[in-house]
Structure 1
Amino acid sequence: MTQVVRSVKPLATSPIKSGQPLGAILAAMGLEHCIPLVHGAQGCSAFAKVFFIQHFHEPVPLQSTAMEPITTIMGADDNIYAALETLCERNTPRIIVLLSTGLSEAQGSDLGRAVTLFRASHPKHRQVGILTVSTPDFYGSMENGYAALLESVVQQWVPAEPSAGIRSKRVNIFLSHMFTPGDQELIRSYVEAFGLQPVILPDLTQSMDGHLAVGDYSSLTQGGTPLRLMEQLGQSVATFVIGVSLARVAALMEPRGRGVCVRLPHLMTLTQMDEFIQQLHRISGREVPAWIERQRGQLLDAMIDCHGELQGGRIALAAEADLLRGWSDFALSQGMSVVNAVAPVNQPGLAALQVDKVTIGDLEDLADLLDATPADMIFANSHAADLAERLDVPLVRTGFPLYDRLGEFRRTRQGYAGIRDTLFDLGNIMRHRHHHQPVYHSPLKQQFPAVSRAQDAGL
């Protein structure tokens, strides 16, 4: 079992942590015609919006209840009523995600009660789905907030009792925060190749990946999972829950549906991908399509090609628990070793990692670990760019936020094709580092005069 060690520092000086509200906002971006409403001060939403715009390079729909000192002390329910009414009348959303912050949680705000009173006083807006999510940023991290929204979807919108019918072609796909829009797009193609209809939750493939191609700026999300399909999740023939952080989502879905529930930690290794494809084969009754077989063959060829470069490589990880699990399993499957691992908070998934020790800390702790045990590559978000430059170690960008490279937000890491491309990326990094090592000249090498060499050549 992995040893989880807490940093002895009294504070984080170079944090890798992102708060729970950011995770819930990110998941809300994958719901159709949705707008997240942050119950907190204006700075809470402004801070989140800056990070998302830097990461996705797209405008982000986001609103705030604008709590201020008086409402923080006396109560801010009126702010919620006013914000909900304004959004319903001006923006006509299909979904509003009302999420808390550290400020409103410390105040003791009851979001569920506020929504109930709003429903009673504004019956004309009953067609708008309002989802409440508790996401205090003084606890947990982005991974927790992302999972909390999906748990709220199941608890508040999926009937507690399984429906009488079952949709034999529909498959639910719950994906954790580690899946980029590119990953989600690839997974959709795998499912559809078996003649199945995937309901991906949340679906970021259109809402946060070139969504302005269908029109001008919208105050609501474009694309995403429709509310109607989320209310019918219990009717699907199967449910895939991919990500260790979504274990509670799987536990909530199992009694609500009649189909099988398949849990996978990630899709970053050949073993996990084979299991995913085999499950799709069993559910659909169809043979594996030729193009998927070809992708698997390409991955096997890439593993052979990159074996010499990656074998024995030493990597350092600084990320959320789901990403740590995916990257550590990937590294071990390719003959690499994880010499340093840092997580922002202690999460249940850390105990199952195949590493000796995980430090709960920040990038400064990672720097100390690297000084003691050097690595060939660092896997972290863009905040680690300065550390990687100072240590002259390549940085493989993963997690959130990624703001110093274009296109990183949708890079494919999961699936046969994603694993293959990742192998080539890492293999080229290791080859580049190897070729920049100075040429070794033995002190025992004998030096021959030019005349002697000419005589030996018969000149």
Structure 2
Amino acid sequence: MTQVVRSVKPLAASPIKSGQPLGAILAAMGLENCIPLVHGAQGCSAFAKVFFIQHFHEPIPLQSTAMEPITTIMGADNNISAALQTLCERNAPRIIVLLSTGLSEAQGSDLSRAVALFRESHPKHRQVGILTVSTPDFYGSMENGYAALLESLVQQWIPAVPPAGIRNKRVNVFLSHMMTPGDQELIRSYVEAFGLQPVMVPDLTQSLDGYLACGDYHSLTQGGTPFRLMEQLGQSAASFIIGVSLQRVAALLEPRSRGECFRLPHLMTLQQMDEFILQLHRISGREVPAWIERQRGQLLDAMIDCHGALQGSRLAMAAEADLLRAWVDFARSQGMDVGSVVAPVNQPGLAALPVETVVLGDLEDLSDLLAANPADMVFANSHASGLAERLDIPLIRTGFPIYDRLGEFRRTRQGYAGMRDTLFELGNVMEHRRHHQPVYHSPLKQDFSRIPAEQDSGL
């Protein structure tokens, strides 16, 4: 079993952790006509908005209850009611995600009670779905907040007893935070290729995929999973839960669903991807489409082409648990060695990682580990760019945020096509690193070009 070691430093010098509210906000971006409402100070939402705009280069609909010193001490339920009323009247959302912060959790705010009081006093807004999520900053990280929203969605919106009947062509796909809009788009195409109707939860393929929509600025999310489909999730023929962090989501969904539930840690190895396609083939009764078989063949060819460049290369990683699991499995399946591994907080998936040690720390801890055990590549977010430049190690950007490269927010890593392109990317990095080493010239080498011609002819 992996040894999880906590850093002994009293503080984080160069943190890689992102708070739970950011994860819940990211998941809320994949719900249709939704606006997240952060129950906290204005700085809480402003901080999150800056991170998301830097990463996605898109406008982010986000509001705050604007807690201040007096309401923090005396109670801020009135702030919640006023904010919900304003959003319902001005923006006409279909969904409002009300999430807590460290400030409101420390103050002791009861979100469910505040929403119940709002429902009583404003019955005309009963058609608006309000989802409450507990996401304190002082516990967990972005991965935990993302999973918490999906857990709350299953508990609050899916009936405990599924209605009669089953929708044979509908398939639920719950996706971890590690899936980019590009990954989600590819996964959707795999499901649709078998004649099935995927319900992506959440669905970022239209809300944060870099699409320039027509018309003015929208105060709500564009695209995303419709509310009516989420209420019918229990009637789908099957559910795929992709991501170790979503195991509790699977446990909550199974008794509420008439279909089977399939749990996959990721889609970044040939084994996991083949299992995904095999189950789609079995559910639909259709043969595997030719274009999917071709993508698989392209991946196998890429594995052969890149084997020489990647075999035995040593990697270092700093990311959330789901990303670490995906990248570690991918690296080991391609003959690469994983050395230093750093995670922001202790999460359930870390203990099952196929590595010796995982350090709970920050980028400074990763720098110390690299000093003792050098690596050929570093996998982390953009905050590690300075470290990689200082140590002259290529940085493969992954996770959140990535703010110093364009288009990274939708780069495809999962699926046959994603793995194929990732292999070529890593192979080119290693080829560049090896072929651009300066040629060694021995100081004992004799320079015969300086010997006079007559002396050379007499030798």
| Letter of the structure 1 residue corresponding to residue 204 of structure 2 | L
Note if 1:378 corresponds to 2:340: no
Matches within 5 A, 1:73-222: 73-222=73-222
Note if 1:323 corresponds to 2:307: no
Distance 1:401 1:33 in 2: 24
| Letter of the structure 1 residue corresponding to residue 35 of structure 2 | I
Matches within 5 A, 1:44-59: 44-59=44-59
- The alpha carbon displacement at 1:438 in A equals 1.6
Deviations 1:31-72 (A, max 9, x none): 000000000000000000000000000110000000000000
Task: Find the counterpart in structure 2 of residue 340 from structure 1.
Answer: 340
Deviations 1:376-424 (A, max 9, x none): 0000000000000000000000000000000000000000000000000
Matches within 5 A, 1:427-446: 427-441=427-441
Task: Find the counterpart in structure 2 of residue 365 from structure 1.
Answer: 365
Percent identity of paired positions between Structure 1 and Structure 2 = 85
Give TM-score scaled by structure 1 length. Answer: 0.97
Deviations 1:113-137 (A, max 9, x none): 0000100110000000000000000
Distance 1:41 1:444 in 2: 69
Distance 2:17 2:154 in 1: 26
Task: Find the counterpart in structure 2 of residue 266 from structure 1.
Answer: 266
| Letter of the structure 2 residue corresponding to residue 11 of structure 1 | L
| Letter of the structure 1 residue corresponding to residue 98 of structure 2 | L
**1:213 match: secondary structure:** coil
Deviations 1:73-111 (A, max 9, x none): 000000000000000000000000000000000011000
Deviations 1:296-336 (A, max 9, x none): 00000000000000000000000000000000000000100
Note if 1:38 corresponds to 2:18: no
Task: Find the counterpart in structure 1 of residue 286 from structure 2.
Answer: 286
Distance 2:408 2:210 in 1: 14
- The alpha carbon displacement at 1:452 in A equals 12
Distance 1:46 1:250 in 2: 33
Q: Is the 8 A contact 1:243 1:266 kept in 2?
A: yes
Note if 1:64 corresponds to 2:64: yes
| Letter of the structure 2 residue corresponding to residue 390 of structure 1 | R
Q: Is the 8 A contact 1:182 1:410 kept in 2?
A: yes
Task: Find the counterpart in structure 1 of residue 457 from structure 2.
Answer: none
Task: Find the counterpart in structure 1 of residue 296 from structure 2.
Answer: 296
Distance 2:277 2:214 in 1: 32
| Letter of the structure 2 residue corresponding to residue 172 of structure 1 | N
- The alpha carbon displacement at 1:448 in A equals 6.1
Q: Is the 8 A contact 1:163 1:257 kept in 2?
A: no
Task: Find the counterpart in structure 1 of residue 16 from structure 2.
Answer: 16
Give TM-score scaled by structure 2 length. Answer: 0.97
Deviations 1:142-189 (A, max 9, x none): 000000000011000000012210000000000000000000000000
Distance 1:72 1:213 in 2: 39
Give the length in aligned residue pairs.
Answer: 455
Task: Find the counterpart in structure 2 of residue 244 from structure 1.
Answer: 244
Q: Is the 8 A contact 1:211 1:223 kept in 2?
A: no
Distance 1:210 1:14 in 2: 30
Unpaired runs of 5+ in structure 1?
454-459
- The alpha carbon displacement at 1:449 in A equals 6.8
Distance 2:436 2:374 in 1: 17
Task: Find the counterpart in structure 1 of residue 456 from structure 2.
Answer: none
**1:212 match: secondary structure:** coil
| Letter of the structure 1 residue corresponding to residue 426 of structure 2 | L
Q: Is the 8 A contact 1:211 1:222 kept in 2?
A: no
The farther-off stretch of 206-215 and 63-72 is 206-215
Distance 2:117 2:273 in 1: 47
Distance 1:372 1:135 in 2: 37
- The alpha carbon displacement at 1:447 in A equals 6.8
Matches within 5 A, 1:416-455: 416-441=416-441
Q: Is the 8 A contact 1:17 1:344 kept in 2?
A: yes
Distance 2:450 2:301 in 1: 47
**2:66 match: secondary structure:** coil
Task: Find the counterpart in structure 2 of residue 224 from structure 1.
Answer: 224
| Letter of the structure 2 residue corresponding to residue 5 of structure 1 | V
Unpaired runs of 5+ in structure 2?
454-459
Q: Is the 8 A contact 1:184 1:203 kept in 2?
A: yes
Distance 1:57 1:449 in 2: 58
| Letter of the structure 1 residue corresponding to residue 64 of structure 2 | S
Q: Is the 8 A contact 2:56 2:210 kept in 1?
A: no
- The alpha carbon displacement at 1:440 in A equals 3.4
- The alpha carbon displacement at 1:214 in A equals 3.7
Q: Is the 8 A contact 1:379 1:398 kept in 2?
A: yes
Distance 1:135 1:390 in 2: 35
Deviations 1:183-226 (A, max 9, x none): 00000000000000000000001101134324321000000000
